[in-house]
A and B are shown apart, each in its own frame.
Chain A
Amino acid sequence: MSSRETILEHIRRNTSQKYEYPAWEIQATDYADKISRFCDAVRLSGGEAVVLQETESLDDLVRRRFPEARHIASQMEGLACATTRPDELAAAQELDHTDVAVVEGQFGVAENGAVWIPQNVRHKVLYFIAEALVIVIDRESVVSHMHEAYRRLAGQDYAFGVFISGPSKTADIEQALVMGAHGARNCLVVLR
């Protein structure tokens, strides 16, 4: 008997009482002002969220916020400050030394400041390798909580996807919180 069969056979033999699927819904908290709650939550996670003003373009914003950045990688349209088109690179490793990555997210989650990004670039390392990560989402896209978030994922086709909430962090040395363990040290969410 294969291990697969052995395991399944043990499971069947040892399972006695069966429990029902809990189909009841959680009465989850909805936020009246999702955008401000989202911005607060991003701040709490160590990142920052800003609403893009009419007077400023995304390109201006990135230049203004990261005046010293030399390597800006983005696949987004109309971002003149981008120095690298990541999809044109053959190897993920070539994205090392990226100062700023500007990527598009699909929606934000108000309760915890997370943004869902289904892989929309060739090398997913782009979301993790840059010193600073800028995620752009539509301000109307913010949902209240993770229940709504996962309902939105139903039927979505992605090879990889990630909820990102703030910068990479660790507290593994004496519980002192440090940003930038392996991924981005800064995380800026732009609501356009």
Chain B
Amino acid sequence: MSTKHSKAAEKFLQDRTMAAWHNETLWMVRAKRDKMSREVPEWEELREKACQLKLYSNTHLAELLTEFEKNAAANGAVVHWAKDAEEYCGIIYDLLKSHHVARFVKSKSMLSEECGLDPFLAGKGIDVVETDLGERILQLMHLPPSHVVMPAIHIKREQVGRLFEEKMGAEKGNYDPTYLTHVARKNLRNIFLNADAAMTGANFAVASTGDIVVCTNEGNADMGTSCTPLHIAAFGIEKIVPDLNALGVFTRLLARSGTGQPVTSYTSHYRAPREGGEFHIIIVDNGRSKMLADPDHVKTLNCIRCGACMNTCPVYRRSGGYSYTYFIPGPIGINLGMAHDPERYADNVSACSLCLSCSNVCPVKVDLGEQIYKWRQKLKEIGKDNPEKRYLSAGMKALMDHPVLFNAALKAAPLVNAMPGFLKYNRLNAWGEGRDLPKFARESFNEMWKKHKIQGKEDRK
């Protein structure tokens, strides 16, 4: 029995060149992150503080959100609350309708992806333009993002070139990334100048000041919000931070962890509406308050969506974002999917080797791998475990608990080497599928030890 993930991964791996490129490129980003973190001697202190700040914030949400609301209102913003995706979409639609918005520009927001905003608005006849370059490419290709920070990481320059030829009048056959980026710049500049309203997400919402903080490299959030009379910003409740001092910690970690830069090009603080304009802020729950109740998984709410756990994950790098059934892929996506709807997203928990690299790079110390392990233990409860693997695991346990059996099995193991493939890799052996069985040594470690073939430290002199 293969999971949806392993089937999709198989498809991803068919294009070997692309798959290798994907793996290596993300590993390069991970290496950049390592270099950045090593240049900051207080790196581990920062991670610890960030984790504690998030734990504080997420266990004082009622206080912090109402403090934020009060301060934002005093700054001249209008604060709305949305308990779910439907209400979130509804509030935005009502705002756009009452302001007669025909052209709407958006900067990247995973929340809008989560709530299905673009398709909802398209259904209502509102033209939404994504303005982050990667998101725009995907929007024109009618594809979802495959990474939270590098949404179009799975798209090749030739595809972008052909797309821009068709949609933006780019010259034929010019696939140079600089050229293509500047074609998009020109095309989107025009759209910015003529937009009626702009939307952003939020990387952070500051309770003590009412600031909405957005971090981008492209400057698209700022181009949009600087030209239009209406700015709508929406954030999930876990984006709240207590004060500006907390931002000192998070802004030092975010880009270093995600893309290996010391900081993003723009860290924008939106506080009051533009002269003569309006600023609306939507605070969204959509299942987050429910996650507070689960002590095993509450830490997923720490996530600042830096993407580092994806870049480092050996499974993500080699299977791509589309192999996961939740819209956020990689280690954090596995956990968020399970937190939202375990029955629906249970397939993803197999997409983990439990190497725990994710837990080690996460800037806010989400215990990603450990949580995935916990979810696997709960699969039987939710009726989503794989019965064959369960029997195999039970057999394993019997062997481990009984040394005599274990040793006998080890002795017999080399026989497997000589077994024909169809016996090793058949539909009954769920582990053989997608895995090469190890070659069993002719002699076990124990036997070699007994025959003095392996020397201890003392004997070596």
> Which residues of A come within 8 Å of B, CB atoms?
2-4, 6-8, 10-22, 24, 26-29, 41, 44-45, 92-93, 96, 109, 111-114, 122-125, 127-129, 145-151, 153-154, 158-176, 178, 180-184
The closest CB in chain B to the CB of A183 belongs to B219
Most buried by B among A10, A14, A153, A173: A173
> Which residues of B come within 8 Å of A, CB atoms?
25, 28-29, 40-42, 45-46, 49, 52-53, 55-56, 59-62, 65-66, 75, 81-83, 87, 131-134, 137, 150-153, 155-157, 160, 177-178, 180-182, 184-185, 188-189, 192-193, 217-220, 222-223, 226-227, 237, 242, 244-245, 247-249, 251-252, 259, 261-275, 283, 285, 289-290, 292-293, 295
CA distance A161 to B213 in the complex (A): 10
* B222 CB contact (under 8 Å) in A26, A44, A159, A162: A162
Q: Report whether B292 and A183 are in contact in the complex, using a CB–CB cutoff of 8 Å.
A: no
Q: Report whether A167 and B62 are in contact in the complex, using a CB–CB cutoff of 8 Å.
A: no
Residues of B within 8 A of A125 (CB): 222-223, 226-227
Q: Report whether B83 and A26 are in contact in the complex, using a CB–CB cutoff of 8 Å.
A: no
Q: Report whether A16 and B265 are in contact in the complex, using a CB–CB cutoff of 8 Å.
A: no
Not counting A111-B262, A165-B263, a sample of 20 additional A-B residue pairs whose C-beta atoms are within 8 angstroms of each other reads A8-B65, A11-B61, A17-B59, A44-B262, A45-B261, A124-B222, A128-B219, A128-B222, A146-B263, A158-B271, A159-B271, A159-B274, A163-B251, A169-B265, A172-B133, A173-B157, A174-B25, A174-B177, A181-B181, A184-B219
CA distance A16 to B289 in the complex (A): 12
Q: Report whether A19 and B55 are in contact in the complex, using a CB–CB cutoff of 8 Å.
A: yes
Residues of A within 8 A of B295 (CB): 16-17
Residues of A within 8 A of B265 (CB): 45, 164-169, 183
Closest CB of chain A to B44's CB: distance in Å?
Answer: 10
Residues of A within 8 A of B270 (CB): 160
25 contacts between A and B (CB under 8 A): A7-B83, A11-B65, A16-B293, A19-B56, A22-B56, A28-B42, A29-B41, A41-B262, A45-B265, A93-B193, A109-B263, A124-B222, A125-B222, A150-B248, A162-B222, A163-B251, A165-B264, A165-B266, A168-B266, A172-B152, A174-B157, A176-B157, A181-B185, A181-B219, A182-B222
Closest CB of chain B to A130's CB: distance in Å?
Answer: 11
Residues of A within 8 A of B223 (CB): 125, 128-129, 182-183
Q: Report whether B133 and A122 are in contact in the complex, using a CB–CB cutoff of 8 Å.
A: no
Q: Report whether A3 and B222 are in contact in the complex, using a CB–CB cutoff of 8 Å.
A: no
Most buried by A among B46, B132, B156, B261: B261
Given A4-B81, A11-B237, A93-B227, A147 and B262 contact (CB-CB distance below 8 Å): no
Q: Report whether B217 and A181 are in contact in the complex, using a CB–CB cutoff of 8 Å.
A: yes
The closest CB in chain A to the CB of B133 belongs to A172
CA distance A112 to B40 in the complex (A): 11
Closest CB of chain A to B166's CB: distance in Å?
Answer: 16
CA distance A156 to B52 in the complex (A): 26
Q: Report whether A22 and B52 are in contact in the complex, using a CB–CB cutoff of 8 Å.
A: yes
Residues of B within 8 A of A150 (CB): 244-245, 247-248
CA distance A64 to B268 in the complex (A): 31
The closest CB in chain A to the CB of B194 belongs to A93
